[in-house]
Amino acid sequence: MANAIRALSMDAVEKAKSGHPGMPMGMADVATVLFTRFLKFDPADPSWPDRDRFVLSAGHGSMLLYSLLYLTGYDGVTLDELKTFRQLGSKTAGHPEYGHCPGVETTTGPLGQGIANAVGMALAERMLNARFGDALVNHFTYVVAGDGCLMEGLSHEAIDLAGHLRLNRLIVLFDDNGISIDGDTSLATSTDQLARFAAAGWDVTRVDGHDPEAVAAAIQAAKLTGTPSLIACRTVIGYGAPTKQGTEATHGAPLGADEVAGARAALGWSHAPFEIPTEILAAWRSAGSRGADAHLSWERRLQSADPDTRQAFLDGQRGTPGLGLDTALANLKASFAAEAPKIATRQASQKVIDQIAPVLPALIGGSADLTGSNLTKARSQETVTADKFAGGYIHYGVREHVMGAAMNGIALHGGFIPYGGTFLVFTDYCRPSIRLSALMGQRVIYVMTHDSIGLGEDGPTHQPVEHLAGLRAMPNVNVFRPADAMETVEAWACALADTDTPSVLCLSRQGLPALRREAGDDNPVARGAYVVSGDVERRDVTLLATGSEVALAVEAAAKLGDEGIAATVVSMPCWELFRVQPEAYRTQVLGTAPRIAVEAAIETGWERWIGETGRFVGMTGFGASAPAGDLYAHFGITVAAIVAAAKEIRTSKGE
């Protein structure tokens, strides 16, 4: 049965003229044991909530997964799909892509991400289990990871967190083949991986990855431990390839016709390319149907659960925030309208979280060790610990990267809406995971505070200047920079409502005055940009701004008004949402008067909004260490500078 995986992998890579045959051939035995004897899954319903999760962290070995999905009978994963491996429009992309091919639990390829997603999945399983019990939630998360995954720094953050939380339903099968792209791993690493994982509190063992009984015994033992488990599987990369096996030559290129023929002979596989003998396919399909009974029993348990529990479980799975949320947000907006608080948007965000956490049990918060700065923990949230998974708040530690990757895993698992905080400048530390949130279309909410030089004394290492531009450049991410408490509520509402897009909330450290004094029923932030002060029609100049700089623009507009210059201020909390508004709305908001943009960040991207004749008041390079007020003055992001730019732009236009 394992040779069926090897043959399909060789053949598909050969036909595509590109791909990675070495890993599937090396791990075929391990995968066969896992899929035929342990994995709880039902190819007829890839979204069954209580299935075991299988994560191919070494995503380049995608043919291992595609072979398994075909052999076990996933709908739509046909032989024809395997024959169009890596071709435009096929389900069998070069690396496994979530949402693109049934049975793919997460998009992998960027190394280290899969194992970190799996930590999130295994954590989600325990958290959901704490809420709904063994009858509804009781599954394992299996990972295949290679040497590359374990060299990436992200793997440290992942195993550190998993060990700390004693995620005993997490089992990592390490493809311990001693080969990476440059050659033998001894070129680059000398780490004793078993000792390393043990240091993080994992149960560890090593087996011959080509001995099915040894692999089975190790998995069986791993299922019973009270900690996450690492099973190092000694394998031969490209197992069966007569001259290339055990070398990097099998890693990332087709074997070639002669070598494939030789491998067929060595493996005793006499069948034509893409041909699987009936009895072998039948054996695989039988393995694929193993889970049907378990699935049926689970459905029965769900039906016999009490109605409230069932409803709560299904609501969580559907990810519908629910009516309580709308009321909570509306109440908060009303109180902000009444009180007009001058608070930092991170403080406003804290108030949002305090309001919504009690009515939104699916909400799972956290911070990368900046809880008191990000203000991410609701009063009602208890900390998630290894002894108590019922809580709603995760201390991710100083580990931004696994925070992002685990949130992806939590969102993919289902049942939860994760959010997590750090300083905006440290989005750089988790950018690969933000990108995967975007590529997979996951509702992950990044709460990024201290969003400009307004951070002050900590200096340029902690002050984002290019991060807004960098995040706005990423496809399918909504970047919000609310201007006051009201906009912060509305940005949160958008982030919670958009089930297919991650959001980055960029929040101020410093207090900001309330701009809007009426709550209203609509959500102008959802339109991306809107006129916040001044006349929509009659204007001499338009001031565009986001976040903490909107108040400066409003003040500048007042000064300009005193001098007879009509300045209209547009708050632009989310460019991405504005860009998809009807053209008539966009034209109306932007107007035809000359434009000045104000943002305590670099200009990149603003050219789109201000045009060739516009002006920009903002940063031109890195920040500095000083109190925030001094920095705004030093870098010339002031009311006076906006007023001067407005006069200058009118002069240069001959007005």
Cβ atoms of 106 and 114 closer than 8 Å: yes
Please check if 35 is assigned to a binding site.
no
Is 552 marked as binding a ligand? no
Catalytic machinery residues: 400
Q: How far apart (Å, rounded) are the C-alpha atoms in residues 268 and 291? A: 30
**CA neighbours within 13 Å on the CB side: how many for 113?**
24
Nearer to a second copy, 31 or 425 (CB): 425
| Alpha helix stretches (DSSP H) within 548-620 | 548-562, 575-579, 583-590, 607-610
Binding mask 569-608 for a second copy (x = CB under 8 A): ---------------------------------x-xx-xx
**Least distance between a second copy and beta carbon 162 (Å):** 10
Round to whole Å and give the CA distance between 157 and 402. 6
Query: Is 176 known as a binding-site position?
Result: no
List phi, psi (to 5°) of 118: -65, -35
Question: Which listed residue (15, 51, 86, 333) binds a second copy by CB under 8 A?
Answer: 86
Q: How many CB atoms lie within 10 A of CB 176?
A: 22
- Which of these, 454, 456, 449, 510, lies nearest to 480 by C-alpha position? 449
Nearer to a second copy, 138 or 542 (CB): 542
In the complex with a second copy, the residue whose CB is nearer, 208 or 630, is 630
Q: Taking CB under 8 A as the rule, does residue 161 contact a second copy?
A: yes
Residue with smaller CB distance to a second copy, 4 or 438? 438
Output the smallest distance, CB 185 to a second copy, in A. Answer: 8
Choose the binding region for a second copy from 21-29, 289-297, 460-468, 503-511 (rule: CB under 8 A). 460-468
Q: What proportions of the chain, in percent to the nearest 5, are helix, strand and coil?
A: 45, 15, 40
Q: Does 524 bind a second copy (CB under 8 A)?
A: no
Torsion angles phi and psi, residue 54, rounded to 5:
-120, 120
Among 334, 390, 473, 536, binds a second copy (CB under 8 A): 473
Q: What is the CA radius of gyration of the chain?
A: 27
Structure tokens at 280: 């072998």
The answer to the question of residue 243 lying near a second copy (CB under 8 A) is no
Task: Round to whole Å and give the CA distance between 401 and 346.
Answer: 21
At 53 the three-state DSSP class reads strand
Distances (CA, A) of 613 to 80, 113, 122: 55, 44, 54
What is the closest distance, in whole angstroms, from the C-beta atom of residue 541 to a second copy in the complex?
17
Q: Does 449 contact a second copy by CB under 8 A? A: no
Q: 242 or 605, CB closer to a second copy? A: 605
Residue 87 interacts with a second copy (CB under 8 A)?
A: yes
- Contact between 76 and a second copy by CB under 8 A: the answer reads no
> Looking at 458, 586, 588, 647, which residue binds a second copy (CB under 8 A)?
458
Residues 222 and 173 sit within 8 Å (Cβ to Cβ): no
Residue 49: closest CA among 307, 310, 227: 310
**Angle between helical axes of 485-497 and 323-339 (0-180°, round to 10):** 170
Nearer to a second copy, 182 or 213 (CB): 182
Binding a second copy (rule: CB under 8 A), the pick from 22, 43, 49, 59 is: 59
User: Per rule CB under 8 A, is residue 638 in the interface with a second copy?
Assistant: no
Helices (H) and strands (E) in the chain, counts: 26, 20
Query: Among 68-76, 136-144, 309-317, 466-474, which window interacts with a second copy (CB under 8 A)?
Result: 466-474
CB of 465 to a second copy, least distance (A): 7
Instruction: Establish if 181 lies at the interface with a second copy (CB under 8 A).
Output: yes
State yes or no: 111 annotated in a binding site.
yes
Nearer to a second copy, 56 or 276 (CB): 56
Please name the residues in contact with 326: beta carbons below 8 A apart, sequence gap of 6 or more: none
Stretches 289-297, 330-338, 459-467, 497-505: which one binds a second copy (CB under 8 A)? 459-467
For a second copy, the closer CB: 130 or 624: 624
Tell me the site size for a second copy, rule CB under 8 A.
Answer: 108
Helix axes of 400-413 and 113-132: crossing angle, nearest 10 degrees: 50
Please list every residue from 194 through 213 that binds a second copy, using CB under 8 A.
195-196, 198-201
If one asks whether residue 425 binds a second copy (CB under 8 A), the answer comes out as yes
**Nearest alpha-carbon partner for 373 in 426, 448, 428, 485:** 448
Crossing angle between the packed helical segments 22-33 and 212-224, to the nearest 10 degrees: 60
Name residues contacting a second copy, limited to 338-377 (CB under 8 A).
Answer: 367, 369-373
Strands 179-180 and 541-545 turn out to be unpaired
109 binds a second copy (CB under 8 A): yes
Q: Is 540 annotated in some ligand binding site? A: no
Query: Considering the complex, what minimum distance in angstroms separates the CB of residue 16 from a second copy?
Result: 7
Strand pairing report for 393-395 and 363-367: parallel
Residue positions forming the annotated binding site: 20, 60, 109-111, 147-148, 177, 179, 251, 346, 373, 426, 450, 458, 462, 509
Which residues sit in the known binding site for thiamine diphosphate?
60, 109-111, 148, 177, 251, 426
